[in-house]
Amino acid sequence: MPWNRKRYPVNWTSEIRPQVLARAGNCCEGSDATGAFSMSLIVTIMPLHTMSEANASQREHWGSKHRRHKGQRAVTYFTLRDVLGCVSPVQAPMTITLTRIAPRALDEGDNLAASLKACRDGVADYLCGHYGQGQDRQPGLHWRYAQRQGYAPRVYGVEIVFNETRTWTAGDT
């Protein structure tokens, strides 16, 4: 795996992750006046170390970059498959928010999106149903990026939130 478990507290999976999931509620957040129903589902926080690809790629061997991207994409795909099952429970149209968790913020213009590209490809693979075959430019998929600091120094991760939007009428159940 591309992340080092020794850098995270021993209670990461037993206490911290469940607290984050409880905070999100994993439930419906309601609907607006237009009848668009929005369901927010936080999937997971994966302890991945993402970095600015725009600056690092100039000083890094292409093989090292390829191994890191392949590892991040695989971890994202297989984590989503383990958490949500083999078939995606969410369907387009949806907004997918990828949040980078790190001690320092990146430039939101291009560095943030570039650092999360491999994770974005892993999410697209999961929605497609096959590793390595996903297309992140499918109609109905809207991607957003955010970043925040971790709960302790030198803690890195990626949080994935699916916001599924459906339009319904009074006769729908």
Domain range for 144 is 7-24+37-158
- Is position 170 within any domain? no
pTM over 0.85: no
C-alpha closest to that of 77 among 111, 109, 107, 48: 48
In a domain, 101, yes or no: yes
Q: Where are the alpha helices (DSSP H) in 1-61?
A: 17-24, 53-56
Positive or negative: CA dihedral 94, 133, 136, 3: positive
Alpha helices, H only, the chain: 17-24, 53-56, 62-84, 111-115, 117-128
For 119-160, what is each residue's pLDDT tens digit?
Answer: 999 999 998 888 878 888 888 889 999 999 888 888 899 999
Residue ranges of the chain whose pLDDT lies below 70 = 1-8, 20-21, 23-40, 42-43, 55-58, 166-173
Query: Angle 18-11-42 (CA atoms, 0-180°, nearest 5)?
Result: 25
With respect to residue 103, please indicate whether it lies within any of the assigned structural domains: yes
In a domain, 78, yes or no: yes
Residue 147 lies in a domain: yes
Within-domain flag for 117:
yes
User: Total domain count for the chain?
Assistant: 1
